[in-house]
Amino acid sequence: MEAKISQSLQWSTLIDSEKIIRKPSGSLRFSQRYKGQQRLQMAEYCNLQSRKAATWLHRPVTLKVSCSAQNIPASLLESESFPASFDEAMILKDKLEEIEPYLSGRCIYLVGMMGSGKTTVGRILSEALGYSFFDSDKLIELAVGGTTVAEIFKLYGESFFRDNETEVLHKLSSNYRLVVSTGGGAVIRPINWKYMQKGISVWLDVPLEVLARRIAAVGTDSRPLLTGDGDAYAKAFKRLSTLLEERGEAYSNANARVSLENIADKLGYVDVCNLSPTVIAIEALLQIEKYLKK
Ligand SMILES: Nc1ncnc2c1ncn2[C@@H]1O[C@H](COP(=O)(O)OP(=O)(O)O)[C@@H](O)[C@H]1O
Ligand SMILES: O=C(O)C1=C[C@@H](OP(=O)(O)O)[C@@H](O)[C@H](O)C1
């Protein structure tokens, strides 16, 4: 595992606050899981960061979302905050500074299965970039007079929902500096890709068991394609696996892929559930950078 991490120097920049504790003296204490070469890489990285950001306080950092965009109702501008650890937020900002000039204001579209974290990670990215955040489902709900996604499916059917989804993506595509969390099924229509191609698409690739666990935890009421009787986890898992079979190829059209399994592997984690949304956002930026430099 250590060999893998030392091979990938860029991963020394992914620092989990659970593993590194900053002492009041400014020195760093590592958990038992970090050894040898890994510790050296992280210490180097942290020292560099400390010099760069000497005025930062050692406390959780809240990245605030700031929003404004053309043709989009003010009521839909998101204002939620998401707390990140000091180290994670610092690394995210640092990476952003590097790649922002190459983005040239292009929108970022997050695609992926239901529960993959498009909304959670999207908010973090938008806030750090100073971009506006939009959840396409919310825009569809507004377009249908405030009707929820679940009600739209029930009252008008899926194809009506999909037509509205396409229309929303069309409208969004004329904007700049947006991060958009798309619905899990947006990838199935080629026309939607045509609109998303004006920006950069990022696939959040999350193992099925994790998706099912997250969805079972919050319930399936707001996700009409997953509703039904029985155990919430088993039901979500079964339905999601069918959907993933149908859509797997479509997701891989995205410009960048963020695989939680790859991140966990590179960081030496056994369980992908230990990956914070900010760490996932950092990996998204690394993959966007890779795409931009191709
Ligand atoms: N990295 C993460 N670790 C733990 N829980 C997460 C993570 N990312 C998202 N979640 C949780 O999973 C659920 C679905 O996330 P969400 O961002 O709404 O996904 P999507 O927009 O892709 O449907 C939410 O309850 C959210 O809090
Ligand atoms: O996968 C899908 O087909 C859907 C995903 C949902 O969005 P999230 O991915 O944000 O849950 C929502 O658009 C609708 O329930 C259909």
**Smallest-distance ligand from the CA of 125:** 1
Q: For the chain, how many structural domains are there in total? A: 2
Q: How many CA atoms lie within 13 A of 257 on its CB side?
A: 12
Cβ atoms of residues 72 and 175 within 8 Å = yes
* 44, 87: one domain: no
- Residue 248: the pLDDT is 86
- Residue 274: the pLDDT is 84
Please name every residue paired with 22 in a beta bridge, in sequence order, or none if there are none: 28
Residue with tokens 């590194």: 20
Expressed in angstroms, the distance from the first to the final Cα of the chain is 28
Domain limits for position 70: 59-292
Q: How far is the CA of 52 from the centre of ligand 1 (A)?
A: 32
Token digits of residue 100: 């922002």
* 90, 236: one domain: yes
* 157, 46: one domain: no
- Residue 220: the pLDDT is 83
* 288, 182: one domain: yes
pLDDT, tens digit (0-9, with 9 covering 90-100), for 158-175: 999 999 999 999 999 999
**pTM, full prediction:** 0.78
Cβ atoms of residues 201 and 169 within 8 Å = no
Residues sharing a CB contact under 8 Å with residue 103, sequence separation 6 or more, in sequence order:
129, 200, 288, 292
Which parts of the chain have pLDDT scores under 70?
1-84
Ligand 2 lining (C-beta closer than 6 Å): 114, 118, 137, 149, 183-185, 223-225
For ligand 2, atom 15: residue with the closest CA: 223
Q: What is the CATH number of the domain that holds 270?
A: 3.40.50.300
* 221, 102: one domain: yes
- Residue 148: the pLDDT is 97
The answer, yes or no, to whether any atom of ligand 1 lies below 6 A from the CB of 122, is no
- Residue 221: the pLDDT is 82
CA 23 to centroid of chain Cα atoms: 30
21-47 burial, b at 16+ Cβ within 10 Å, e below that, comes to: eeeeeeebeeeeebeeebeebbbebbe
* 142, 26: one domain: no
Q: How far is the CA of 116 from the centre of ligand 1 (A)?
A: 6
* Best of 214, 222, 225 for a ligand 1 pocket test (most atoms within 8 Å of beta carbon): 214
For ligand 2, atom 11: residue with the closest CA: 114
- Residue 148 DSSP SS3: coil
Residue with tokens 């500074």: 97
CA 54 to centroid of chain Cα atoms: 28
For ligand 1, atom 10: residue with the closest CA: 117
Q: How far is the CA of 47 from the centre of ligand 1 (A)?
A: 32
CA–CA separation, 252 and 257 (whole Å): 7
CA–CA separation, 20 and 30 (whole Å): 5
Token digits of residue 266: 């590179």
